[in-house]
Amino acid sequence: MHPNAERVTSALRATGAAGEVIELPESAPTAQAAADQLGCEIGAIANSLIFNADGAPLLVLTSGAHRVDTTRIAALVGAEKVKRATPEFVRAATGQPIGGVAPVGHPAPVRTLVDVWLKKYDQVWAAGGHPHTVFPTSFDELLRITGGDPAEVGE
C-alpha cells in the first residue's frame, strides 16, 4: 500500500473509524471515477477539496453531486477570500496529492467543513491519501474523525 494510504489507515485506527482503506483497480481522481468503480451514486462520494482561505488551508468534504460555493464557505469561515488551492498548497497542507486527499492523515490538523448533503447516505466513500485508495465512512463519522463542522457548502 502507498505510504500516504498507510498514514491514513493509521489515522483512521487512531480515531476508532470503522472503515478500512482499500485499493481500487484504477485511479479515481474524480467523484465520477470513484462512483463508477464502487458502484454507488456520485452523491455518496465525499470529495476532499482543499481551498486557500486567506492563506490558510480549508478542507471541504463535499458530496460528489455538486460544486462548492466559495462565496458561501468564505462567509461560513469568516474569510475575506476563498479560492481553489494549487497542487503545491494542497501537498504542503495535507502531504497528499490532488485526487487522493483524505479527510485525515495530514501533517497537522486542517480546519474542515462537512457537507450536510452527505447525511442522505448511510455509507459514503472518501479518498484514502492516494488516487487509487478509498475508505467507507459516514457523515457522522466524518464529523467525528475530522473535528469538522457540518455545513451547506454547495451551489
pLDDT in tens, 54-98: 999 999 999 999 899 999 999 999 999 999 999 999 999 999 999
Give me 28's grid cell.
479515481
Amino acid 154: pLDDT: 86
Residue in 44, 14, 51 with CA at minimum distance from that of residue 145: 14
Mean pLDDT of 140-148: 97
Residue 3 pLDDT class (50, 70, 90 cuts): confident
Mean pLDDT of 39-67: 95
Compute CA 70 distance to the chain's CA centroid, rounded to the nearest angstrom. Answer: 16
Residue in 100, 104, 72 with CA at minimum distance from that of residue 7: 104
Amino acid 110: pLDDT: 97
Contact 140, 32 (CB under 8 A): no
Amino acid 153: pLDDT: 95
**What DSSP designation does 128 have?**
-
Which residues, in sequence order, are CB contacts of 104 under 8 Å at separation 6+?
8, 11, 12, 15, 17, 145, 146
CA pair distance 118, 130, nearest whole angstrom: 21
Q: How far is CA 34 from CA 41, 113, 129, in A?
A: 10, 21, 14
